[in-house]
Structure 1
Amino acid sequence: MLMKKYCCEFCFLLILLISFPAHAAGKNEISLGLFPYVSSTQLVQFHSPLKNYLSKVLGLEVNLVTAPDFMSFVERTRQGDYDIILTAPHLGRLAEKQYKYKRLAMTGHRVEGLFLVKKDSDINTLDDLKGKTVMVAQRISVIYQMVVQTLADKGLVDGKNISIIETKTHNNALYAPLRDEADASVTGVLLWHTLGEDYKDKLKVIAYTNSVPGFVVLSHPRISVVRQRKLKKALLDFGKTSEGKFYFENTGLKEFLPISDKTMRELDPYTRIFTAK
Structure 2
Amino acid sequence: MKALIQRIGWLLCACTAAAGAAPGSDDIQIPVFPYLSTERLVSLYEPLRRHLQETLERPVRIVTSPDYRSFVAAVAQGEDLLVLNAAHMARLAEVDSGYRSILQTTNPLHALVIVRAEDPVAEVADLRGTRIVTPDPLALITLMGHRMLREAGLTPSTDVEMPTADTHNNALTLLLGDDAIRAAIVSNRAFTTLNEGTRARLRILADGADLGGIPSIVYQTGPGHEGADRAFLTREILHFANDTPAGRAMMQTLGHGGLREVTEADRAVIDPFVPATREVLAAP
The answer to whether 1:223 aligns with 2:221 is no
Which one has a larger percent helix, Structure 1 or Structure 2?
1
Match of 2:270 among 267, 270, 275: 267
User: What are the equivalent positions in structure 2 for 1:59-98 lying under 5 Å apart?
Assistant: 59-80=57-78, 82-98=80-96
Q: 1:25 to 1:251 in 2, by over 3 A?
A: farther
Question: What is the distance in 2 between the residues matched to 1:217 and 1:16?
Answer: 27
Match of 1:246 among 225, 249, 270: 249
Question: What is the distance in 1 between the residues matched to 2:25 and 2:91?
Answer: 24
Indicate conservation of the 8 Å contact 1:118/1:202, yes or no.
yes
Indicate conservation of the 8 Å contact 2:16/2:59, yes or no.
no
Amino acid in the other structure paired with 1:189: N
Match of 2:133 among 129, 132, 135: 135
Question: What is the distance in 2 between the residues matched to 1:123 and 1:86?
Answer: 36
Q: Which deviates further from its counterpart, 173-182 or 111-120?
A: 173-182
Q: Structure 1 length normalisation: TM-score?
A: 0.88
Q: 1:25 to 1:123 in 2, by over 3 A?
A: farther
Indicate conservation of the 8 Å contact 1:103/1:218, yes or no.
yes
Q: 1:101 to 1:20 in 2, by over 3 A?
A: farther
Match of 2:216 among 214, 217, 223: 214
Describe the SS at the equivalent of 1:213.
coil
Unaligned runs of 5+ in 2: 1-12
RMSD in angstroms over aligned alpha carbons? 2.3
Which one has a larger percent strand, Structure 1 or Structure 2?
1
Question: What is the distance in 2 between the residues matched to 1:20 and 1:67?
Answer: 17
Name the counterpart of 1:12: 15
Question: What is the distance in 1 between the residues matched to 2:127 and 2:19?
Answer: 42
Indicate conservation of the 8 Å contact 2:15/2:61, yes or no.
no
Match of 2:55 among 57, 62, 76: 57
Question: What is the distance in 1 between the residues matched to 2:83 and 2:22?
Answer: 14
Q: 1:253 to 1:15 in 2, by over 3 A?
A: farther
Unaligned runs of 5+ in 1: 1-9
Question: What is the distance in 1 between the residues matched to 2:251 and 2:32?
Answer: 16
User: What are the equivalent positions in structure 2 for 1:151-162 lying under 5 Å apart?
Assistant: 151-162=149-160
Name the counterpart of 1:117: 115
Amino acid in the other structure paired with 2:217: F
Indicate conservation of the 8 Å contact 2:88/2:277, yes or no.
no
Give the number of equivalent residue pairs: 263
Among all aligned residue pairs of Structure 1 and Structure 2, give the percentage whose two residues are the same amino acid: 25
Q: 1:133 to 1:167 in 2, by over 3 A?
A: same
